[in-house]
Amino acid sequence: MSKKRIRVLIIDDNEDVLLAAKLLLKPHVDVISIEKNPENIPQLIKSESYDVIFLDMNFTQDMTSGQEGFYWLNQILQIDPAAVVILITAYGDIETAVRAVKEGATDFVLKPWQNEKFIATLSSALKLRESKVELQYLKSRQKQLNKDLDQKFSEIIGVSECMQDVFNVIEKVAQTDANVLILGENGTGKELIARALHRRSKRADEVFIGVDMGAITSTLFESELFGHVRGAFTDAREDRAGRFEVANGGTLFLDEIGNVSTELQAKLLTVLQNREISRVGSHKKISIDIRLICATNHPIYDKVDNGNFRQDLLYRINTVEINLPPLRERREDIPLLVEHFLNVYKKKYEKNSLSINGETIKKLTNYNWPGNVRELQHAIERAVIMCDGEQLLPDDFLLSTKSRKDETVSLENYNLDEIEKKVIQKILNKYSGNITKAARELGLTRTSLYRRMEKYGL
């Protein structure tokens, strides 16, 4: 047993027992406190933190039933829920031992004890105490982190009226278990909203599991979400829990739900309706208890009208909807976001004296930000990295001057050849006829691009 600052408390009304235990444990323990009177237990535990407490079950008032031991066990655990208590008695039996463990005791030893067993019991108890203290620390740390994050949506920056509306919805729905659908363009912060809902929910101490539905192939859909058993398919070498099972008791966030095919939507709907899953390769039903949050950048109602998204699934996932506005509709938030990201990247890249002037802020505020907050964040990080001076100037941000409308290819018809011709023409214009750059953006070889240019007379 490694030498640590180990503190042990022994409580027994027999002085011989106290002396024997103290002599036995002395080589293994730094501090040994002994106590004859159990009435002093509360004061001892409040004034000192003990790694292990050995508690006699029978004192002078009650010599054989162990009721005093159970009473003081409960008192100890009320004061210190992480306490590791080992009950000792000369009148033990299986029934008493089982009850002792059920009521919170770590172990149970009989007098007269075997020295080797006594030391082994202490060793196991110390390991358990270490685990309990570490778990308590992690929970405390997580609660503090959540508390810091939950300072009135400090993780979501926005003073605009439309963002205040979003915050109001979060406040109303977070404490419920209602399914939430978050709608918004790419880069608007849908996952931040999902995490804010989780942190303010009754499940805040449980897990938050996020799944990018757009990144899961159809062949792996069931395995990833519902799990599989060993041998279910070629690479299934061991049992594996799916995301639904892992999220049990907590929150499951299905991002980009609009990317799921109609065939897989049916399987997802069945799980959400029945609240149970079966791992691939198994017929065993596993009940699930999750809070579901979904998000998409797709025009989901158009997909329903077009038959590409099941209306019954939409009803299931959107008990409450949160519509996240694009950054161009909340321009008053841009200076705040700029300041936030600038502080983050000044610290990261050790450029603490770097500042930004008013003209630059004006330029950033007037830009449409098709990539929304994510694009703004990346633009500021790049500017901080590349800046050689002490101040970020407008020229440090290489932003497109085209309007949002100009950034898309207008479709007068859906003829694929016409669409391809327009896209190629647009990219050639973008790079002033540079074939290498245009081919790279289009994902083509130079030869393939030349072939298509010849085909379309470009």
CATH number where 306 lies:
3.40.50.300
What is the model's pLDDT at position 3?
47
Q: Are 185 and 371 in contact (CB under 8 A)?
A: no
Q: Are 153 and 167 in contact (CB under 8 A)?
A: yes
Does 280 fall in a domain?
yes
- One domain for residues 31 and 135: yes
Q: With CA atoms as reference, report the closest residue to 28 among 61, 51, 59, 55.
A: 51
My answer on whether 304 and 183 are in the same domain is: yes
In a domain, 147, yes or no: no
What is the DSSP secondary-structure string of 8-69?
Answer: EEEE-S-HHHHHHHHHHHTTT-SEEEEES-GGGHHHHHHH---SEEEEES-BTTBSSS-HHH
Asked whether residue 129 is assigned to any structural domain, the reply reads yes
For residues 124 and 190, state if they share a domain: no
Same domain, 363 and 434: no
Q: Is residue 213 part of a domain?
A: yes
- Considering the domain architecture, whether residues 58 and 120 belong to the same structural domain is answered as yes
Helices (H), 150-220: 161-173, 190-199
Triad 300, 227, 174: Cα angle to 5°: 50
Same domain? 61 vs 193: no
Give the count of domains, the chain. 4
* Within-domain flag for 403: no
Q: What's residue 154's pLDDT?
A: 53
C-alpha to C-alpha distances, 19 to 4, 14, 140, nearest whole angstrom: 22, 9, 38
Q: What is the DSSP track for 127-148?
A: HHHHHHHHHHHHHHHHHHHHHH
Clarify whether residues 196 and 290 are in a common domain: yes
Spatial contact of 173 and 181, defined as CB atoms under 8 Å apart? no
Q: What is the CA radius of gyration of the chain?
A: 32
Element (H, E) at 203: none
**DSSP assignment of 356-387:** E-HHHHHHHHHS--TTHHHHHHHHHHHHHHH-
Are 271 and 313 in a shared domain? yes
Residues 69 and 38 in one domain: yes
CA–CA distance, 456 with 458 (Å, rounded to integer): 6
157 within some domain: no
- List the CATH number of the domain containing 31: 3.40.50.2300
179 lies in the same domain as 285 = yes
Q: Are residues 133 and 201 in the same domain?
A: no
Tens digit of pLDDT at every position of the chain (458 positions): 444 578 999 998 888 889 999 999 888 888 899 998 889 999 898 888 899 999 988 776 555 566 788 888 888 988 888 889 998 877 656 677 678 778 888 888 878 888 888 898 888 888 888 888 777 767 666 665 565 444 444 568 999 999 999 999 999 999 999 999 999 999 999 999 999 999 999 999 999 999 999 888 888 898 999 998 888 888 778 888 899 999 999 999 999 999 999 899 999 999 999 999 999 998 889 999 999 999 999 999 999 999 999 999 999 999 999 999 999 999 999 999 999 999 999 999 999 999 999 999 999 999 999 999 999 999 999 999 999 899 999 999 988 655 444 445 555 566 777 788 888 888 887 777 778 778 877 877 777 788 788 887 77
CATH code for the domain in which residue 416 is found: 1.10.10.60
- Burial of 198 per CB tally in 10 Å (0-12, 13-18, 19+): buried
Scanning the structure block, which residue is given the tokens 């996952």? 191
Last residue of a domain, one of 115, 139, 163: 139
pTM: 0.58
DSSP string, 306-374: TTSS-HHHHHHH-SEEEEPPPGGG-GGGHHHHHHHHHHHHHHHTT-TT-EE-HHHHHHHHHS--TTHHH
Name the domain boundary from 323, 348, 365: 323
d(CA 120, CA 107): 11
What angle do helix axes 416-430 and 435-442 make, rounded to 10 degrees?
130
Say which CATH number the domain at 338 has: 1.10.8.60
Q: Report yes or no on 161 lying in a domain.
A: no
Tell me whether residue 361 is in a domain: yes
Domain that holds residue 303: 175-323
User: Is residue 223 located within the same domain as residue 278?
Assistant: yes
Distance in angstroms (rounded) separating the CA atoms of residues 309 and 313 = 8
Domain final residue pick, 116, 139, 162: 139
